[in-house]
Amino acid sequence: MIFRLRPADSGQGAVARADEASRLLLERINGHRRIVLSSTVVDGRYTLRVCVVSHRTHHDRIAESLEIITAEAR
C-alpha cells in the first residue's frame, strides 16, 4: 500500500508542500519505533509505503499500525 498527504489547496507549490508534509509524517510514524514505513517517488510525488513482509503478522499488529498512521496524520 502506498499513500501520501493530499495538498490542502491546488495553488502554486501545493505538491511541494504535500511532499514535505508527507516526509514529516514518515518521520513521526517511524519515530514511534513500533512500525517502520519506507518511502518512494511515484509520478514525481513523495509517497509512503506500507509493506508487511511476514506471513505471521497478526491482525492486532496491523490494527496498531493503522492507529499510529491515522493519529500522526491528523
**Residue 53: C-alpha distances to residues 4, 34, 48, 74 (Å):** 21, 15, 16, 27
Residue 71 and residue 58 in contact, taking contact as beta carbons nearer than 8 Å: no
Phi and psi, residue 54, nearest 5°: -105, 130
pLDDT digits 0-9 by tens, 46-59? 999 999 999 999 99
The total number of structural domains that make up the chain: 1
- The residue segments making up the domain with residue 8 are 2-73
- C-alpha–C-alpha distance, residues 60 and 5, integer Å: 25
Residue 2 and residue 48 in contact, taking contact as beta carbons nearer than 8 Å: yes
* CATH (domain of 13): 3.90.1150.10
pTM: predicted TM-score of the whole model, two decimal places: 0.89
Q: What integer pLDDT is reported at residue 7 of this predicted model? A: 78
